């Protein structure tokens, strides 16, 4: 198989973790006789520094003409610490999602037996937890207009807007995924307060008859946040709006034991994008200590979802699992005996080559 992969390393630890994922992809391709062409492009703070635009047109065209996108992370303290910055790295991420039509973010949450005791949560609560959050990605308060500040700068405002079409298309992804899993869908909203949430609930209720085999329930977002921590094994598939999904998936990362373990996929009308759920972690940039496993697992999702190459994805997952069992992990998972980013990546590559 021949494919073109857009590679957007981004900022902070992005280049380091992407490098390890690409080495894993090379090992898989050598074993299974695939040929991938990597097309590198700028996004985020490095793109602002080079072009003034966090998502340059050249990057957009590379993404649009690729078969999949591997993405690292976006963010830089020099922008985070400047509330008056007119252009921000995160604007590149939002622009990329909008331009590519990436309306559905798919984030699996799971546990590894050998890491359960690394989680701050009790073993009996999280052992066996396995659910997926489907987050709407191109609507809501992150994109709504108008937004801004009043002339005297004493007030600021953001607008949350959703259409039925936006809700239907992402909920369809969630219902269909639930059908392939344990046939349970939980819709998370704040319908007791927000008008947009009432539209979400109404629309999903209307869709239910199309999926009679799926059990549907609803939770307010504050209750969902509590249940994810106290009883995560009750969830199968969760669907929610943009900001709620952003917050809940970061919260759910404590179940796995580290943000560095959870991959994600963003799908929609154009090329699908695969990325770890964590940020750019600028404090670790260049130190070779960042956990590359979420990015490597994102590559596994790419094989499975974009190319239907199930055996390839399974081998990557197995290699990651075995590396964790063997204790070949970065400092976020073992502070007393840790390995570097490149050492973890090399171990996974070696496992794949020897399998």
| CA separation for the pair 276, 297 (Å, rounded) | 8
Question: Where in the sequence numbering do the catalytic residues fall?
Answer: 142, 190, 222, 246, 250
Residue 337 CB coordination number (10 Å): 9
Question: Can you tell me which residue has the tokens 């946040």?
Answer: 225
Q: In the numeric block, which tokens belong to residue 119? A: 């989680």
| CA separation for the pair 223, 238 (Å, rounded) | 13
Residue 172 φ/ψ region, left for φ over 0, alpha for ψ in the -120 to 50 degree band, beta for the rest: alpha
**74 Cβ partners below 8 Å, 6+ apart?**
10, 11, 14, 43, 44, 45, 54, 89, 90, 92, 93, 279, 280
Cα dihedral across residues 60, 77, 23, 132: positive or negative: negative
Kindly report whether the peptide bond that precedes residue 270 is cis, defined as omega within 30 degrees of 0.
no
Side-chain half-sphere CA neighbours of 60 within 13 A: 16
**180 Cβ partners below 8 Å, 6+ apart?**
none
């Amino acid at each position: 198989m021949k494919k073109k992969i857009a590679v957007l390393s981004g900022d902070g630890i992005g280049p380091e973790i992407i490098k390890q994922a690409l080495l894993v992809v090379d090992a898989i391709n050598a074993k299974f006789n695939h040929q991938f062409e990597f097309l590198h492009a700028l996004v985020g703070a490095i793109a602002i520094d080079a072009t003034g635009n966090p998502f340059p047109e050249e990057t957009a065209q590379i993404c649009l003409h690729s078969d999949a996108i591997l993405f690292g992370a976006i963010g830089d303290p020099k922008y985070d610490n400047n509330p008056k910055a007119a252009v921000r790295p995160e604007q590149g991420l939002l622009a990329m999602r909008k331009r590519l039509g990436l309306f559905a973010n798919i984030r699996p949450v799971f546990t590894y037996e050998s890491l359960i005791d690394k989680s701050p949560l009790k073993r009996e609560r999280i052992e066996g937890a396995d659910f997926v959050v489907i987050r709407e990605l191109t609507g809501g308060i992150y994109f709504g207009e108008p937004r801004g500040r009043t002339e005297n700068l004493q007030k600021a405002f953001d607008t949350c807007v959703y259409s039925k079409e936006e809700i239907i298309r992402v909920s369809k992804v969630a219902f269909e995924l639930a059908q392939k899993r344990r046939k349970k869908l939980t819709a998370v909203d704040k319908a007791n307060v927000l008008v947009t949430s009432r539209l979400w609930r109404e629309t999903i209720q209307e869709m239910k008859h199309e999926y009679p085999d799926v059990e549907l329930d609803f939770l307010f977002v504050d209750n969902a946040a509590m249940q994810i921590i106290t009883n995560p094994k009750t969830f199968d598939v969760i669907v929610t709006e943009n900001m709620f999904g952003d917050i809940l998936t970061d919260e759910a990362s404590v179940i796995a034991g580290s943000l560095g373990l959870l991959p994600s996929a963003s799908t929609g009308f154009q090329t699908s994008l695969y990325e770890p759920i964590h940020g750019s972690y600028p404090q670790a940039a260049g130190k070779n200590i960042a956990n590359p496993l979420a990015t490597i697992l994102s590559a596994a999702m790419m094989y499975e979802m974009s190319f239907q190459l199930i055996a390839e994805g399974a081998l990557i997952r197995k290699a990651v699992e075995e590396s964790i069992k063997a204790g070949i992990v970065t400092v976020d998972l073992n502070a007393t005996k840790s390995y570097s980013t490149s050492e973890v990546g090399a171990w996974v590559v070696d496992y794949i080559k020897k399998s």
